[in-house]
Structure 1
Amino acid sequence: MAEENGHIDAGHPTEQGASVSFPGPPPHIYSCTLTPELVAKAREELQEKPEWRLRDVQALRDMILKEQPNLRTRLDDAFLLRFLRARKFDYDRALQLLLNYHGSRRAWPEVFQDLKPSTVRHVLDQGFLTVLPYPDPQGRYILCLRPGKWKPNDYPFVDNIRAIYLTLERLIQPEETQVNGIVILVDYTGVGLSQASNPGPLLAKKVVGILQDGFPIRIKAVHIINEPRIFKGIFAIIKPFLKEKMAERYVLHGSDLASLHRVIPRSVLPEVYGGVAGQLDLSAWSRTLLESEEEFVVEFCQPDPLEGVLLPDSSLFEGEQNDDTFRGLRSQLYYCY
């Protein structure tokens, strides 16, 4: 895979031999990489004013240094901008998101300990997830999840969470993704009772908590396809933890791929989703992630960033379900199955 000008060649979905690139990370010293169209979009949707951008970053940096002087976090412009954009330049909410982001590591050590692509190679090889190498018409990259590819006896479900988190970390680096957000496509083909009942409500809440309140990314839509009857039980586990705005972004298509193509054009999707793209190299994202190994070692294989930091009680993982709740939801899964 060639890397030129910060972009990684991933192949083109419509013409074999042509190329399209996953966007690369921004420069170490911040320089805006947004097109004029995306600058206008950021102004309208995120309240980002180019003339005030670095002033806003400095304001957030000052808040961190004053209110959380012991927090071990990156303070460079590019990093802090992720949190400001994710919270529409509200300083207080951006700071809370940053604290949640680091707090997730302490609250869920089995996900974040030794977190790097080589430790989830088996998840990537299994085909549980990929990112399509071509964005949708709104410029949003599409994260594809295929839970049916996971077999509970092969490895623990938490490894899937590790692979998803690393993927989000790589996706959020380019500024265009910070502004456009991403789309998630979940294909439930092959999902049975063993996959559906394994994660449980506590694990579901932790995943939703990170996606909604612990990571600086905008999830603009979640499309579900080929969902079985059992999905009613799966969604019953997830829905109580979703904010109303996020719940409204879930779209169930069943086996009606025509309805999916109305929101994601056929040319963007590989042949396995009924598109006309021909055979895409769905391993391109795995290579992209694995080639970022050193970067993730620097980012995650370090001491606890919250060591010595006094935080108020976090709501990120509060309200853990008791056994009775889990048994009730498991019974509902059996009923739906």
Structure 2
Amino acid sequence: MFSRHIKDLASYTMAGPTFITAEEEYKKDSRLKEEDIEKLRVWLTTQPDLPQNISDERLLMYIHCSNFDLNKAKEVCERDWLLRMKHPDLLAELDPCTPEQDNIWKLGEFWIAPETTKEGYRVCYAGLHDPNPSKYNFLEAMKAAIMVMWADYVSRGICPGFIFVLNAKGTSFGHALKASISTIRAFLSYAQEGNPINMKAVHIINVSYVVDKLMILTRPLIGKELYNIIKLHSGDMQSFFDVVPKNVLPAELGGTAGSSEELRSKYYII
């Protein structure tokens, strides 16, 4: 059974968040201005391939992640929607209440820590709850991760940046064989070009031989900017703990944010 935020995504309009308001977002940063929203709306009228009903909150995300450069915000907006149209199976056909999603949530752990780092960054965690690759569906796992991000947009809006923690424990070649190159390419394209966030770091922990091989295979699909913030951790984890504080980590990793099961249950309730 899905928790409120994930269930709400079943009726969530693709135009953007509806729970946090633009007025609340303006209070977070004085550089967010209503007149910039109006400028983007005027620009949208000249873009027949883009929807005209994008919410103010979503437009503010484009502006914020572009460091308040309206030209860059337009580029992110355009890429966001063009990628959704190009890859509807990954980015447009999102229903958290399907049997396939119910299954993937029983196999995986996807959550965003309720606390932030001292810089205000939010930490997104993904890992395996059940490592059996025979039940695994890579496309559904990527869709679940995207829906968790969008649920966070809905409930909390913009923030200075995101840190991603990917726990590779239990990952095998069986999982790798379930991943199609087309889905990997689509997901990485969206992560790097269309997702309106500031990605600060990607930490892959419990790295194994399998992960090393996957990194080699996907390297041509990873741009320089993303590649430079990916950090691999195996064996001694001190380098990881030096940069990711305990208040955003689960108890299983020595953190104080609660158990991974408790954090997972905020999105999925068994």
TM-score, normalised with respect to structure 2: 0.81
Contact 1:101 1:210 in 2 (8 A): yes
Contact 1:141 1:183 in 2 (8 A): yes
Q: Residue 180 of structure 1 aligns to a residue in which SS?
A: coil
Contact 1:131 1:142 in 2 (8 A): yes
Match of 1:185 in 2: 165
> Which one is further off, 53-62 or 272-281?
272-281
Gaps of 5+ in 1: 7-23, 41-48, 291-337
Q: 4+ runs of 1 displaced by more than 4 Å?
A: none
Q: Residue 116 of structure 1 aligns to a residue in which SS?
A: coil
Closer, same or farther in 2 for the Cα pair 1:149/1:287, shift >3 Å? Answer: closer
User: Matched residues in 1 for 2:55 and 2:218: separation?
Assistant: 35
Amino acid at match of 2:146: Y
Cα distance per residue 1:131-167 (max 9 Å; x no partner): 2232222222211111574544224210011101111
User: Matched residues in 2 for 1:183 and 1:127: separation?
Assistant: 19
User: Matched residues in 1 for 2:248 and 2:89: separation?
Assistant: 35
User: Matched residues in 1 for 2:55 and 2:251: separation?
Assistant: 41
Identity among equivalent pairs (%): 21
Amino acid at match of 2:58: F
Cα distance per residue 1:151-195 (max 9 Å; x no partner): 4422421001110111111223456x5231211101111111111
TM-score, normalised with respect to structure 1: 0.66
Match of 1:327 in 2: none
Q: Residue 97 of structure 2 aligns to a residue in which SS?
A: helix
Match of 1:205 in 2: 185
| 2:67 aligned with 1:88 | yes
| 2:223 aligned with 1:243 | yes
User: Matched residues in 1 for 2:129 and 2:122: separation?
Assistant: 22
Gaps of 5+ in 2: 6-17
- 2:94 pairs, out of 115, 121, 130, with 115
Match of 2:202 in 1: 222
- 2:137 pairs, out of 139, 152, 156, with 156
User: Matched residues in 2 for 1:99 and 1:171: separation?
Assistant: 22
Contact 1:257 1:274 in 2 (8 A): no
Match of 2:20 in 1: 26
Cα drift, residue 206 of structure 1? 1.3
Q: How many residues align?
A: 254
Q: Residue 202 of structure 2 aligns to a residue in which SS?
A: strand
Cα distance per residue 1:229-262 (max 9 Å; x no partner): 2222111123222222221111112132322221
Match of 1:170 in 2: 151
Closer, same or farther in 2 for the Cα pair 1:266/1:75, shift >3 Å? Answer: closer
| RMSD (CA atoms) | 2.9
Match of 1:72 in 2: 51
Matches for 1:247-266 after TM superposition, within 5 Å:
247-266=227-246
Q: Residue 139 of structure 1 aligns to a residue in which SS?
A: coil
Match of 1:101 in 2: 80
> Which one is further off, 118-127 or 154-163?
118-127
Cα drift, residue 265 of structure 1? 1.8
User: Matched residues in 2 for 1:79 and 1:189: separation?
Assistant: 35
- 2:37 pairs, out of 52, 57, 61, with 57
Contact 2:117 2:247 in 1 (8 A): no
User: Matched residues in 2 for 1:92 and 1:278: separation?
Assistant: 41
User: Matched residues in 2 for 1:80 and 1:101: separation?
Assistant: 11
